[in-house]
Amino acid sequence: MTIDTCKFAGQKAIVRVDFNVPLDENGKITDDTRIRGALPTLKKVLDEGGALIIMSHMGKPKGKVNAKFSLSQIVDAVSEKLGVPVQFAPDCAKAGEAAAALKAGEVLLLENLRFYPEEEGKPVGIDKADPAFDEAKKAMKESQKEFSKTLASYADIYINDAFGTAHRKHASTAVIADYFDADHKMLGYLMEKEVQAVDNVLSNIKRPFTAIMGGSKVSTKIGIIENLMDKVDNLILCGGMTYTFAKAMGGTVGTSICEEDKLDLALSIMEKAKAKGVNLVLGVDCVAADSFSNDANTQVVPAGNIPEGWEGLDAGPETRELFAKAIEDAKTILWNGPAGVFEFDNFTAGSRAVADAIAKATANGAFSLIGGGDSVACINKFGMADQVSYISTGGGALLEAIEGKVLPGIAAIKG
Ligand code: AMP
């Protein structure tokens, strides 16, 4: 079933959203992107005459009630955005009566799911090394099923619109789906868009395909790099991970971030790229700094010839041109990870060159997907969010999807 074909009139839909919004010390929302992201799905149900039960996690209360993470703090904001009053169920596992009383067009928001350890399904207060751990885990899986069944009992239809947690097999993101048949469970609009965006870079690829992988370490990106190697035409590696490659090739990298134990890995990535005919683009020069600070002294040096006491913090001018060339003609683009320490205003040039080239290619008809935390922050810092095709809302979920892993939240619905 899809959200567009489902009939919601007279039905109750329980929707898993990601309302894990940042709050200030007074409990005021500082960024409501996630709430806005879920509105199309929520409004669809209401507009068609359905009733809504909304559920989410917030923060990491680790299975315990904690007022700091109470979703009661966002009731007014959700109500204002939906344009209808929102009722609140202060205990998500005891909301049966409130849910049963809901009429068409009414909305009930459940308290933070993670106040119950059953949501994440991990046994609490017992160490993995404890001989009783396996038993505790088994018992927790059973109570997770019961918890999921309770949530499912509130509604006729289940919708998952929380892409940010789709890589977790939690009660509300996956287990609950077992209690609805295929005609009564579906992805929400936000999830559909995310799945489509990932599909565009993993299967429905228009060529040439350029992936830009940056960030601090090659070790955290290796799964993605390996999966992309079979798909891309150009693979740009940038940011801090570059210096592991420079060192592996016999260069000197000064005090640059470098994973000494990943030199062989870097060489094997280079060999694989060659064997697969992938154009691997590595920086040839960099902006080196004499300290890790925005106001450091700088000089442009070859990427593999950084003087002692200096560290590469950004891509150099020749490198920026190389990157732009490999991006501008592309028809599919994926960007994950900045090309320098973009948090410092004086070291944004590399990331900006990447962003500018992506915007240019997108204007020429390319599909560009930006995802995974820092590159999203980067695009937002440059005010260029509307110049790319799609910005993913999922950090870890997006990265796992691009690694080629099956996301439990999606598998639970699509099989
Ligand atoms: P990641 O979380 O692995 O995607 O890395 C993102 C972080 O990498 C950002 O905070 C950047 O500031 C950092 N980064 C990018 N380039 C460098 C570099 N040359 N040296 C140190 N950190 C870097």
pLDDT tens per residue, range 110-129: 999 999 999 999 998 899 99
User: What value does the mean pLDDT take over residues 41-62?
Assistant: 97
Determine the Cα–Cα distance for residues 329 and 338; give it in Å rounded to an integer. 20
Minimal-distance CA residue to ligand 1 atom 17: 240
pLDDT at 357 over 80: yes
State the pLDDT at residue 241.
96
C-alpha distances in Å from residue 196, one per residue of 6, 166, 211, 351, 367: 19, 14, 17, 26, 11
Amino acid at position 5, single letter: T
Pseudo-torsion of CA 214, 248, 329, 395, nearest 10°?
-20
User: What value does the mean pLDDT take over residues 19-36?
Assistant: 92
Minimal-distance CA residue to ligand 1 atom 5: 215
- Which residue's entry shows tokens 């923060």? 59
State the pLDDT at residue 372.
78
Question: What is this structure's pTM?
Answer: 0.91
Question: Which two structure tokens, joined as six digits, stand for 166?
Answer: 């789709």
215 classed as catalytic: no
pLDDT at 393 over 90: no
Computed over every residue of the chain, the mean pLDDT equals: 96
Minimal-distance CA residue to ligand 1 atom 6: 215
Residues 6 or more apart whose Cβ sits within 8 Å of residue 271: none
Ligand 1 center–CA 235 separation, angstroms: 18
Determine the Cα–Cα distance for residues 45 and 25; give it in Å rounded to an integer. 33
Ligand 1 center–CA 372 separation, angstroms: 12
pLDDT at 397 over 90: yes
Determine the Cα–Cα distance for residues 241 and 275; give it in Å rounded to an integer. 21
**Residue 125 burial (CB count, 10 A):** 8
Considering 59, 223, 373, 404, which one is annotated as catalytic? 373
Whether residue 58 contacts residue 21, with contact meaning beta carbons closer than 8 Å, is answered with yes
User: What value does the mean pLDDT take over residues 370-380?
Assistant: 88
pLDDT tens per residue, range 250-290: 999 999 999 999 999 999 999 999 999 999 999 999 999 99
Q: Which of 236, 238, 374, 399 to mutate to test the pocket of ligand 1 (most atoms within 8 A of CB)?
A: 374
Q: Please, what are the domains in the chain?
A: 12-187 (3.40.50.1260), 195-402 (3.40.50.1260)
Determine the Cα–Cα distance for residues 403 and 395; give it in Å rounded to an integer. 13
State the pLDDT at residue 269.
97
Q: Is the Cα torsion angle 221, 57, 53, 74 positive or negative in sign? A: negative
Ligand 1 center–CA 255 separation, angstroms: 14
Considering 43, 149, 217, 272, which one is annotated as catalytic? 217
- What would you measure as the largest C-alpha separation in the chain, in angstroms? 71
Confidence of residue 394 (pLDDT cuts 50, 70, 90): confident
pLDDT tens per residue, range 168-208: 999 999 999 999 999 999 999 999 999 999 999 999 999 99
pLDDT tens per residue, range 191-200: 999 999 999 9
Residue 86's closest CA among 94, 100, 73, 76?
Answer: 76
Whether residue 194 contacts residue 217, with contact meaning beta carbons closer than 8 Å, is answered with no
Q: How far apart are the first and last CA of the chain?
A: 12
396 classed as catalytic: yes
State the pLDDT at residue 212.
97
Percentage above 90 pLDDT, the chain: 96
Considering 223, 251, 395, 396, which one is annotated as catalytic? 396
Phi, psi values for residue 268, rounded to 5°: -70, -30
Q: Which of 314, 334, 341, 380 to mutate to test the pocket of ligand 1 (most atoms within 8 A of CB)?
A: 341
- The sheet with strand 298-302 has its strands ordered as 298-302, 285-289, 311-315
pLDDT tens per residue, range 321-348: 999 999 999 999 999 999 999 999 999 9
Minimal-distance CA residue to ligand 1 atom 2: 215
State the pLDDT at residue 350.
98
Determine the Cα–Cα distance for residues 10 and 51; give it in Å rounded to an integer. 7
